[in-house]
Amino acid sequence: MTTIQDPNTFNGNPIKRTHIMAKPIGPACNIDCTYCYYLSKQDLLEYKKGCTPKIEEHALENYIKRYIKSHNSAEIIFSWQGGEPTLLGLSYFKTVVDLQQKYCPEEVVIKNDLQTNGILLNDEWCEFLAEHDFLVGLSIDGPEMLHNAHRKNRSGRGTFRQVMKAVELIHKHKVSFATLTCVNNLTSQNPLEVYRFLRDVVKSTQIQFIPIVEQKTFRTDAPQSNTESWKAENQIKQGDKRLIPGNKDSIVESFSVSDIAWGNFLIAVFDEWEKRDIGTVFIQYFEANLASWIGESSQLCTLNPVCGKGLAMEPNGDLYSCDHYVYPEHKVGNIHNDDLDEVSYGGKQQQFGYAKVETLTTECRNCEYVFACYGECPKNRFIKNANGESNHNYLCAGWKKYFAHIDKSMARLARTYGYPVKFGRFNDTRLAKLMGKEQRHVFSVKY
């Protein structure tokens, strides 16, 4: 007899998942990327001078035990980030896997993600990563010139060649991997060079892009804090030259991407992907967008209505609301002293989570693409919009341009895969009303 499983329960109880991005070596890193938002945590979180923090073995065991205990699901995912976690050495991660097996409940599968710059990967590492089915997130920004512009070692030399060596090893050992590419002032100007390089040279089939946006005060001022840079009255209006990276008096770091460059980057990559790579290359944003157009929740926190589903953990066990909110005022607990469920679902974290949707500007609330954007990441909400409303998203103009560009394609794509189109200008309800020759023509294009 077949047992029918309730998809919302596991072992007869409601499914429960927590996600922590662990930083087992804190912000320590073997390179010095210009735009890193984490290196400065060394000063902000007041690590002792010269010390390299790490999750010590007894604390590691406690973390793994508690993290597993906070789940009730068939799969548990551990995420390791930094800084550069491979600095801890392979034996550290062998211990991680051993401890995970020690505490792994029956019928549960434990998986690991590891975000790395690839510099320390060698045959031994890659054999281990393949054997234990780690998903490696490899940071690479594109061809040599573009990558080396910001991703440099401590003596100021580009790291491209070392990363490409890691790419070779990853393929040689068949390690599962995704690439993470920062869209900054330079890569944003070269979308096709970046995308074709990732697709054809790195042979990445899972591509993540991340827009680099930092106010000059990001090292010390938490987003939405009561600091000068975040005060509503000090925010600068959309279109002002001081919001252009590299401009004299710009309030954003020169390595940041501008709003329109971000939109143009996504558009250029989308057009190329739509022409030839659907079904073979998975681009996190496009997958997330499709989910939004069909009314499902997207995998990307930045495009969802609620934040705070993934905590960040520092080596001493301190937990923060989000990886981008590792500031003293956003500490929500400690893995060793507090109940993880109470932290994850507690008042402070809930407030943080719902603030994303509750603090949308009127422009966002009335935006025809709010279903796909939800005002994007709150850390980027530091400008006044054209109506003078503060706390609007810096990237908004780019997002709007991009969403308008993909709207029809998303509807076509959804229909090709047999999904109803719930949102966008070409949604089913509107289409049913308008259905006529012209619309039939529009939707007859096949992939």
Annotated catalytic sites, by residue? 323
Note whether 222 binds ligand SF4 by CB under 6 A. Answer: no
CB of 293 to ligand SF4, least distance (A): 14
CB of 347 to ligand SF4, least distance (A): 17
Q: Token digits for 74?
A: 């068939």
Q: Token digits for 322?
A: 């989000």
Note whether 302 binds ligand SF4 by CB under 6 A. Answer: yes
Q: Give the torsion through C-alpha atoms of 326, 215, 379, 52, to 10 deg.
A: -20
CB of 149 to ligand SF4, least distance (A): 24
CB of 309 to ligand SF4, least distance (A): 7
Residue 389 dihedral angles phi and psi, to the nearest 5°: -75, 135
CB of 388 to ligand SF4, least distance (A): 14
Q: Scan residues 333-362 and list those touching ligand SF4 (CB under 6 A).
A: 356
Number of residues that bind ligand SF4 (CB under 6 A): 23
Q: Scan residues 373-402 and list those touching ligand SF4 (CB under 6 A).
A: 373, 375-379, 393, 396, 399-400
C-beta of residue 19 within 8 angstroms of C-beta of residue 310: yes
Length of the chain measured in residues: 447
- Determine which residue in the list 92, 369, 382, 423 makes contact with ligand SF4, applying CB under 6 A: 369
Residue of 104, 78, 72, 103 whose CA lies nearest to 6: 72
| Alpha carbons 244 and 261: distance in angstroms, whole number | 10
Q: Closer to ligand SF4 by CB, 70 or 302: give it.
A: 302
Element (H, E) at 109: strand 109-116
Note whether 331 binds ligand SF4 by CB under 6 A. Answer: no
Amino acid symbol at 333: G
| Alpha carbons 340 and 347: distance in angstroms, whole number | 13
Note whether 292 binds ligand SF4 by CB under 6 A. Answer: no
Amino acid symbol at 200: D
- Determine which residue in the list 198, 340, 370, 383 makes contact with ligand SF4, applying CB under 6 A: 370
CB of 209 to ligand SF4, least distance (A): 14
Q: Closer to ligand SF4 by CB, 138 or 222: give it.
A: 222
Q: Closer to ligand SF4 by CB, 118 or 376: give it.
A: 376
Element (H, E) at 319: strand 318-320
Q: Closer to ligand SF4 by CB, 126 or 373: give it.
A: 373
* Contact region with ligand SF4 (CB under 6 A), list: 76-84, 227-235, 342-350, 370-378: 370-378
Note whether 308 binds ligand SF4 by CB under 6 A. Answer: yes
Q: Closer to ligand SF4 by CB, 16 or 365: give it.
A: 365
Binding flags for ligand SF4, 399-418, as an x/- string (CB under 6 A): xx------------------
Q: At what angle do helices 57-69 and 90-103 cross, to 10 degrees?
A: 40
Dump strand ranges (E) for 125-265. 135-139, 176-183, 206-211, 236-237
Q: Token digits for 398?
A: 């780019």
Burial (CB count within 10 angstroms: exposed 0-12, middle 13-18, buried 19+), residue 347: exposed
CB of 370 to ligand SF4, least distance (A): 4
Output the DSSP codes for 413-446.
HHHHTT----SSTT-HHHHHHH-SHHHHHHTT--
- Determine which residue in the list 18, 363, 382, 384 makes contact with ligand SF4, applying CB under 6 A: 363
Q: Token digits for 51?
A: 């010390």
C-beta of residue 257 within 8 angstroms of C-beta of residue 394: no
Residue ranges that bind ligand SF4, judged by CB under 6 A: 301-302, 307-308, 322, 324-325, 356, 363-364, 367, 369-370, 373, 375-379, 393, 396, 399-400
